[in-house]
Structure 1
Amino acid sequence: MPAKGTSPFATFLIIGPVCFFLGILFALFPYDYHVLWTTPSSTPPALAATLTNALPTTTSDPRATYFALQENHLRFLHASPPLISRILHIVIGTGILGFMLKLYKPSEANMLFDGASLALYMCGITVYIANIVKGLRTVTAGAYGGQAVPEGESIHGKVLEGTEGEFIGREDSLRVLAASNTILALVLVGVLVLQAGQWYAQRKETEEMEEMDKADEKRAAAKAMGKEGGGKKKQ
């Protein structure tokens, strides 16, 4: 049973979108793992064979294959039909609607848990707009560092010449996107933890109130029995 003072439907409107976004980030994790978290010792032959056309030149960097995988996947995501982004934005709005319902007439627990959850949720939206959306556009355009790399030139060559300007670099830009996914996942997990903490706190409060009510009923029953016993003795 839900605890008194909770709004199960509004909580569902929050937890549903958060789990949906975590599922998307989990699907992106295989692309981010070797780019951000570990250095592969070598590229699996089967994987390298599938990316022969994706890598313009041969390189000894074991991460090159995974950078190409991530870059191609991000370009595919950004080129997805408009329906995909619309569904994503509807789900984002659904989570905000859930917070609005829970904070309409807030109790002290709502202000503490739901207020902090809303702050984390808005931080996640900020990361999505400022880092992920901008990063997807950068990867699609190939304009790493705010400028497009001229054909036939490379970031490495410009660094050696000392004319790299504002170029950040392809690898660093892809790492920033992978790190943004990790930050967003941690923020969303924080929302789930706060919602679970609110449910637990309200459930414990409800159990304590029920125990106090039962104790009061027992005291009242004992007093009533005592009065009845005293009346019989007088008779």
Structure 2
Amino acid sequence: MDGWVDWSKTTRSRNYRGSGSFATFLIIGPTCFFLGILFAFFPYDYPLLWTSTPVPSAYYDQLETHLRFIHQAPPLIARLLNIMVSLGFLGFFVKLFRPSAANVLFDGASLILYLIGASIYIANIVKGMRAVSAGAWDQPNFAGTLHEGPLTGEVTLNREDSLKVISASNTILALVLLGVMVLQCGQWYAERKEADEAWKQEVVAAAAHRAGGGKKKSQ
């Protein structure tokens, strides 16, 4: 840890990569991009998760058509999503190269959340979209989707439950990405407070210096 973290680096160092650096833009840009996509999914996820009204079967057909359309988009869309994910990781790697203590605290925690979000996206959302796109529930011998549960082992999910899992994963992913944004905003706030404290100390020191100089002249 001592060889990785530059403990002599502060938020006022010239080589400090803080909230105003381009690397922060590489983090916030993709995070906001994916939050926008998840916000577009929210009208589809809301009836499944946030209302007690029974959902008609036709709605599941509509949601399945929407997910199939998204998953079967041209390869350019998938490449664009991969590029945005990679830009976020690039921003974290830049900020965590010879980091300060503030970088380890805020950017390290943000990277952990970003990794959790990527895991949710790959393990739940992409896997669920592949099942929808393949028409797994339309197969005559379909027996359900196997899910590794922590207590009961394999649990069989029907189409409705599988679509609810995708919707819940979207919500969890949105909360994780909001956590990344909160940490990055927290870094900006901490830097601002530290700058204000440093400015106040400089003002007090300058006032004391002027007071000391005036006493010498009077003597």
**What residue is the counterpart of 2:51 in the other structure?**
38
Normalization by structure 1: what TM-score? 0.78
User: Aligned partners of 2:207 and 2:49: how far apart in 1?
Assistant: 62
**What residue is the counterpart of 1:137 in the other structure?**
130
**What residue is the counterpart of 1:174 in the other structure?**
163
2:96 counterpart of 1:103: yes
Structural mapping, 1:50-199, within 5 Å: 62-144=55-137, 149-150=139-140, 167-199=156-188
- Kept in 2, the 8 Å contact 1:124–1:187? The answer is yes
Q: Which runs of 4+ in 1 moved over 6 A?
A: none
Structure 1: 5+ residue runs without aligned partners? 41-60, 156-164, 231-235
2:205 counterpart of 1:212: no
- Kept in 2, the 8 Å contact 1:39–1:63? The answer is no
User: Aligned partners of 1:24 and 1:101: how far apart in 2?
Assistant: 25
Shift of 1:185: 0.2
- Kept in 2, the 8 Å contact 1:35–1:67? The answer is no
2:28 counterpart of 1:26: no
State the number of aligned residues.
195
What value does the CA root-mean-square deviation take over the aligned residues? 2.0
**What residue is the counterpart of 1:15 in the other structure?**
28
User: Aligned partners of 2:210 and 2:25: how far apart in 1?
Assistant: 41
**What residue is the counterpart of 1:45 in the other structure?**
none
Greater strand share, 1 or 2? 2
Shift of 1:62: 3.9
Normalization by structure 2: what TM-score? 0.83
Q: Deviations over 1:58-116 (max 9, x none)?
A: xxx64312211111000001110000000000000111111111111211111111110
Shift of 1:186: 0.3
Q: Deviations over 1:181-205 (max 9, x none)?
A: 0000000000001111111011000
- Kept in 2, the 8 Å contact 1:13–1:95? The answer is yes
Shift of 1:213: 1.0
Structure 2: 5+ residue runs without aligned partners? 1-10, 145-153
Shift of 1:166: 6.9
- Kept in 2, the 8 Å contact 1:99–1:118? The answer is yes
User: Aligned partners of 1:181 and 1:14: how far apart in 2?
Assistant: 19
User: Aligned partners of 1:12 and 1:154: how far apart in 2?
Assistant: 46
Identity of aligned residues (%): 54
Evaluate the alpha carbon distance shift between residue 154 and residue 106 of structure 1 in structure 2; reply closer, same or farther with a 3 A threshold. closer
User: Aligned partners of 1:103 and 1:115: how far apart in 2?
Assistant: 7
- Kept in 1, the 8 Å contact 2:48–2:55? The answer is no
The residue type paired with residue 190 of structure 2 is A
- Kept in 1, the 8 Å contact 2:30–2:85? The answer is yes
The residue type paired with residue 107 of structure 2 is D
The residue type paired with residue 119 of structure 2 is T
Of 99-108 and 62-71, more deviation after overlay is shown by 62-71
**What residue is the counterpart of 1:233 in the other structure?**
none
